[in-house]
Structure 1
Amino acid sequence: MPLTETDAPPASATLTVRSLLVWGLLAGLIGGLLAFGFASAFGEPSVDAAIAIEEAGAGHSHGDDHATQGEHGHGAEPAEEEVVSRAFQSTGGLGIGAVAYGLGLGGLFSLAFAFAYGRVGSLSPRATSLAVAGLGYLAVVLVPFLTYPANPPAVGNPDTIGDRTGLYFGMIAISLALLVAAVATARALAPRLGGWWSTVVGGVGYAVVVTVIAKLLPSFQEVPDGFPGWLLWEFRIASLGTSAVLWAGIGITFAALLQRGLTRTRVA
């Protein structure tokens, strides 16, 4: 599946999906490393603070249990041993997870770019890359997050985690499907309304439908009494910021690699 830059001379530069996939993986690697750095600096402090609150609450509960057991002559049960240390989770584990997720997202991003190029107006390859990154962040991260925001440790009922996870991924699928429908609608209306108004109609339609669906889905209010509001806000902002860095890193890096590849094929 060849790809030719719109503003280049005819047949001057063609790119294959294989090239796009390689660049997508490289962009995903860089994006994952950037996200790891951001999460380490801005996300992990709030996670540590939430874990401290969770452990303090658990310690208080255990203390009451131990006192009760002492009154009845029973010894305390040994604490459950930690399988993976918190130190590794916040360093190596976080880095491996961020890079692995970035690689996977980068590969999917390259395929999304191949599909979107030439179908979202007369954008250049670099502009298309940035548009895909922006729309992807909107549909995959921001909209599902606004419906089911991320929670730090000590927040959330363990009994509902399966329902919350299923609904979160379901919201991602719904948001993506509505985004594709919005783009298709804008393309269909463009000959009659023009590029600007067709884009407005598609965007407003997406916002209205996704808002209605989000309101109809079950909601979960599971923040415990006394949990610091500033900590919850800090954690959620850091979560959104980490995803923003990841998507921006992939989009910008992919655009740069794409431009470099097009320049090289022109010279050749």
Structure 2
Amino acid sequence: MQASFMVVANWKMNGCRDRVTNLSHELITRCGFLNQPKIVLCPPYIYLERVQETLASSKISLGAQDLSCENNGAFTGNISGEMLVDVGVQYVIIGHSERRLNNAETNDIILKKLSIAQFQGMTSIFCIGENIVEKQLGNTFKAIDHQLKPVITLIKNDPSIKCIVAYEPVWSIGTGCSASVQDVERVNKYIKQIFNDLNYPIKIIYGGSVNEMNIEQFVAIKSLDGVIVGNASLSADKLINICMRVEKQTMNTLADIV
């Protein structure tokens, strides 16, 4: 675990104007004094600007759930990286399994998105993870190797890219069944070695049924730099509880080190 632990709230296609505003405001009010964690809120596109207005005077950052693989043009319904930056977005989720599955996103599409995020100066939260069949067949690393190709390609061309890898095993997302500490540590070690070979200091966060009851086990993983929270982030009390538990545990860990 690094000194700055991240909590990324992915609200997916949930909420309404009042709900996201109230949730953001309550988070600032109750967690604005915390030294840890680094909080990133990823609301639906339509509420990005409203949430940013709420976050303007806080330490909490704004993230987007996706971006177009095109810079601009006749692409009805798409949102460009330039538009995201224009409303204050600093982080963008790319390659989420729901996008790969539901929107048939290929490595070529994902590479374009990573390139645009890099060009616009955003930090990519790049999602990878095996499905249940791949896990049962022992093909976790094979799946990860395939999914990592776009970001490895970019890093080889330009090591200045700002990227965080999010290990989100597909079988754990929204199921209530999170990966074990041993599984996360094993995968993290594998990913770290790949990026060590590239001389790139990668940060890794975990996503998949993270909640206020299991957050402490993830904070305790030394190779982990944060978490992505889905369902639990839609509740102000749960998300705040997660953040406060991160604050308490990270401060205790840093005190022990000193």
Higher-Rg structure is 1
Q: Which has the higher contact order (CA 8 A, sep 6+)?
A: 1
Q: Which has the higher helix share?
A: 1
Same fold, TM-score > 0.5, yes or no: no
